[in-house]
Amino acid sequence: MSFDRRKIRTGRVVSDKMEKTIVVQLESRYVHRIYRKAVKTRSNIKVHDPENSCKVGDLVKVMEVRPISKDKTWLLKEILLEASEETIG
């Protein structure tokens, strides 16, 4: 089985309060089939962060892996853009 078939998504960290776990918000857009209007959906996933390196507001790339715990099935692949103090608030 090839490992290049794993899902890879990009999202923003919304919580880093757990030990070795972050919550990432994924956004997707689609066109509504009746109204033909762009609809934005958001979903939160729990991601395994073994080094606790992410902070709230970081833009990260995550990869789907085998279940790590009850809720975690994603692994942090890389941090694309770190959030600065001015960006967060």
- Ordered by start, the domain boundaries in the chain are 3-88
Where helices occur in the chain by DSSP H, the ranges are: 85-88
pLDDT of residue 11 exceeding 60, the answer is yes
Distance CA 11, CA 60 (A): 6
Q: Burial level of 86, CB count in 10 A (0-12/13-18/19+)? A: exposed
Indicate the pTM of the whole model.
0.86
Burial class (CB in 10 A: 0-12, 13-18, 19+), 76: buried
- What are 12-53's pLDDT values in tens digits? 999 999 999 999 999 999 999 999 999 999 999 999 999 999
* Segment 68-83, tens digit of pLDDT: 999 999 999 999 999 8
pLDDT in tens, 58-69: 999 999 999 999
CATH architecture of 3-88: Beta Barrel (2.40)
DSSP 43: E
User: pLDDT at residue 89 above 60?
Assistant: no
